[in-house]
């Protein structure tokens, strides 16, 4: 589901799924998974910057992953800290920014730039 807010689009929310289903979903194209949770203060810190980051890196399809709703998927993917980002291209993981530290817009942009 895509959510519109003002003049910009907020990323699609990933449904609850397992790793095999996720790999099928991201099998073609470039995807950036954004793992977060509503209760997470560091996630709330980066969320306001996400529409701008998403617009700047429009070659990626951004998917918001609620860590609590997808706790099994997060465990399968070794996502033990949030907010975290995992990049896929044509079904293969190409990079990850996974830890429990607060992330700035610049840190997220540096991560995405390092993938190209």
Question: Residues 11-31: pLDDT tens digits?
Answer: 889 999 999 999 999 999 999
Structure confidence at residue 11 (pLDDT): 82
Mean per-residue pLDDT of the chain: 90
> What CATH fold (topology level) applies to the domain 3-114?
Glutaredoxin (3.40.30)
Beta strands 30-36 and 84-89, pairing class: antiparallel
Q: What is the pTM of this model?
A: 0.89
Residue 8 has pLDDT above 90, yes or no: no
Polymer length in residues for the chain: 116
Question: Residues 37-66: pLDDT tens digits?
Answer: 999 999 999 999 999 999 999 999 999 999
- Please list the active-site residues: 40, 43
Other CB atoms closer than 10 Å to residue 97's CB: what's the count? Answer: 20
Structure confidence at residue 100 (pLDDT): 80
């Amino acid at each position: 589901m895509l959510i519109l807010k003002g003049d910009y689009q907020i990323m699609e929310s990933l449904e609850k799924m397992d790793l095999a289903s996720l790999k099928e979903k991201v099998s073609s194209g470039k995807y950036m998974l954004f793992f977060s949770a509503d209760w997470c203060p560091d996630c709330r810190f980066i969320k306001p910057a996400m529409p701008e980051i998403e617009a700047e890196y429009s070659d990626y399809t951004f998917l918001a992953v609620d860590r609590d709703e997808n706790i099994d998927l997060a465990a399968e993917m070794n996502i033990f800290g949030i907010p975290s980002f995992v990049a896929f291209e044509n079904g293969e993981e190409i990079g990850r920014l996974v830890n429990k530290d607060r992330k700035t817009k610049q840190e997220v942009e540096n991560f995405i730039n390092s993938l190209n």
